[in-house]
Amino acid sequence: MEGIFERTLEQLDAEDAELLESAFEVAASAYAPHSKFHVGAAARLSSGRVVVGSNQENVAFPSGLCAERVAAFAAGAQFPNDSIEVMAIVTTNGEKVLGGFSPCGGCRQVLFESEERQSHPIRLILQGGRDAKIVEVASAAVLLPLAFKARGLGAD
């Protein structure tokens, strides 16, 4: 598929490999007592800062948040003038992932809208377990070809 590439750890540059490791580290802090599915996300911003997030579940589903949204919203709240350049998203539960690992639909929409807001793509690095293949996606828009857009619905 166009814009999606398989990588090995050796093919990543040092900054991307470090970002992937940060995502694995924060996945350990996920609060996932219901799904037992631990996800971590690490976003490198245009300033070079790294903002992380892990999934945070709640028994009152869907009150919890996925790691990608935690990281994206934290970046937007704490560093509103920085854009997200790249986000590594991982799970430590690789054995539960069949056919690859990627953000859910809600996260795809949030990442897409983040791209729209900052007027440039967010490169994604995905890994469904330390021994799983690494997938690089050129833009979150690649994962959501029919994204919901507010334009034309009364939004500015």
What's the whole-model pTM score? 0.91
- Host domain of residue 108: 4-143
- Enumerate the active-site residues: 68
In a domain, 152, yes or no: no
Give the model confidence (pLDDT) of 110-121 as tens digits: 999 999 999 999
Give the model confidence (pLDDT) of 133-147 as tens digits: 899 999 999 998 877
- Between CA 4 and CA 6 the distance in angstroms is 7
**Residue 1 pLDDT level (bands cut at 50, 70, 90):** low
In a domain, 150, yes or no: no
CATH number of the domain enclosing 67: 3.40.140.10
Q: Beta strand 134-137 with 4-7: parallel, antiparallel or unpaired?
A: antiparallel
Give the model confidence (pLDDT) of 25-61 as tens digits: 999 999 999 999 999 999 999 999 999 999 999 998 7
In a domain, 148, yes or no: no
Which residue is it, tokens 């996945």? 27
In a domain, 135, yes or no: yes
Domains in the chain: how many in total?
1
Q: Beta strand 123-127 with 84-91: parallel, antiparallel or unpaired?
A: parallel
